[in-house]
Structure 1
């Protein structure tokens, strides 16, 4: 995605308006939202700069920013003195088994965007048989790859009924991921000096429309849990334990959940029958309790959003790739937008 350089890192809680070519661009939490008809921004590559001055006033309500009507541009300022600046690439819902030929597109993009690590936010495959090979290929390009399972990754379709979804989460997938040389998110934090990456798959309050014939209901097997809410409670306990451990040592915490963490913010965009299935506000309530959390991301919902969760103005982002043609007809253009570069 495009990046913008600015001389000084702007105030974290400031929303600014600047002018370029007579049109407005809006700054939110180190992001710029610009109308698509600004050619100077539309044509940017990953290392270009936006030559403009930012000024404005603070606002108590930045509101909802969705990438569909415009383009988001990352502002990269200088890190605070004495802290390590960590540059992360994030994407979710790649669904490689539905997107043949997508892995080379991701690899090409990563070669052009130097990062400290790639964070994969779940739903790479509906199963795990090809996961290790994919992670090894990505590790040839980026120094570290962090994998968090999504609901599709916990389907038991590759196990012939020999293992259940909890065994996949707690033992099988961690072994597959670490054997490939990558790092597993879901059980313990990953560390970049004083920056902690904390993650769980999360879960949801109910099936869509209360149905029990959805793919998750039939392809995920939970012998220890009688309902989605019980799976969610287990995940909340895992997340709380990680947040406690990270808070004791970290200066900054980055949190990832596969299912959505702040569901109420999605209500205007998601049908009420589907809303209980996208995630749970209980995840967000837990995350928000920890003041060292500086950024949160999720997947599962195949739409791009960037929210500022008030009153602390915590950035919460969803940036999936999705199914073929779902978020764009050209995979390279979709990857350009969906692979997010986040600097902490």
Structure 2
């Protein structure tokens, strides 16, 4: 909830790099025969690294992954819209009347100090000022339901304002990665997203081989869909899951995310490609997240393939509470700070030994706790 609008001091990024004092005068003198004298003194500015605050008009907000500031703008000259896709410095925004505008982002938004790599993401609800057939994004509304990851030490928001995460994996070509599914599930738990595990390409294997894995996720209350974009098996169930919801489809490259969406709604025409025969890896056909309206109602965001998914803003001590099957056991350990690795009287380790907790899931927890990929 936004607080009353007022003037407030907020952090900004440094607009320019720090000054670099020249220190190679001897080299220049020897090689270039420099005759001019060097400056005998250097002006030191008081506006150094600490000057990162400015006064803006707006209000402080607490959202899942935003700027922390809701700027005060002239709404009489702005239109409301939603970001469909981001291409470099330009964002495609759909206005409430259905028209599309290529929009740039106002400099004030881009210079606010934030941990995000990019200030605008697909799915953002914005206020933008139209000018002919283009526009300027003036304000980003508070977010909810964010799917993000860590990238180069900063937060990369893949999509905002969704309520459902469809985790797409493939039974083969490329091979199934349960640990990657677990990472997506942790992200869904952290951001309060409803998660659905969707395993594509089941026509390539005997579906009975997936029964142990499917059973583990189903026991935790997750919906698991076995589908095939090639044969059409299970597409109806997936379509019903998407109906009327704000969903994001995510998974590693080559699992068939775009192919599934083409099967769900014929006519989308999303680009697809075959998996590499040499490496059995995808070819990154989808290059940017795109928000797509569904004819039957709702939206779905098609995202680029992800080979590594580093969690953002999750410390090791929080991991156990984000695993649904570990969560009920954490409070039963003898030590409140139990890491469930080497401690005695650990309820989690006892559950693994007794067969109540899946051993693979426990290994997945240990990898995530230790920061392994």
- Report 1 or 2 for greater relative contact order, CA contacts < 8 Å, sequence distance ≥ 6: 1
Please tell me whether Structure 1 or Structure 2 has the larger radius of gyration of its CA atoms. Answer: 2
